[in-house]
Amino acid sequence: MPATSLDQVVSLCKRRGFIFPGSDIYGGLANTWDYGPLGVELKNKVKKHWWTTFVRKRIDMVGLDSAILMNRRVWEASGHVGSFNDPLVDCKDCNERFRGDKLLEEKLGVEAAA
């Protein structure tokens, strides 16, 4: 069985009504997607399962649904502004993107410094 490419998966999802290019009827917006009827149902089921598994079934967790657009001081206090760095490596052969620290650990058995 031949390997399925990401383009084939996206094409199938578009044909079946799971996703549509974002703002498509107004000229589109690159790299954005809107969920169609089936996509909304699938997304909601995945989200519900994740929430049940990682929040509701655990006594040491509570749920929070906050905006990603926040006052800069929130990001500074969390350390994201001053110290966040996640180097990525792009593979030219498979067109995939990998975290550099994970590649070092998986391929070389070397633990990357935090």
Q: Tell me the three-class secondary structure of the chain, residue by residue.
A: CCCCCHHHHHHHHHHCCCEEECCHHHCCCCCCEEECHHHHHHHHHHHHHHHHHHHHCCCCCCCCCCCCCCCHHHHHHHCHHHHCCCCEEECCCCCCEEEHHHHHHHHHCCCCCC
> Domain segments of the chain: what residues?
67-114
Whether the pLDDT of residue 41 is over 90: the answer is yes
The pLDDT assigned to 57 comes to 97
pLDDT in tens, 42-70: 999 999 999 999 999 999 999 999 888 88
pTM of the model: 0.55
Please report which confidence band the pLDDT of residue 114 belongs to, taking 50, 70 and 90 as the band edges.
low
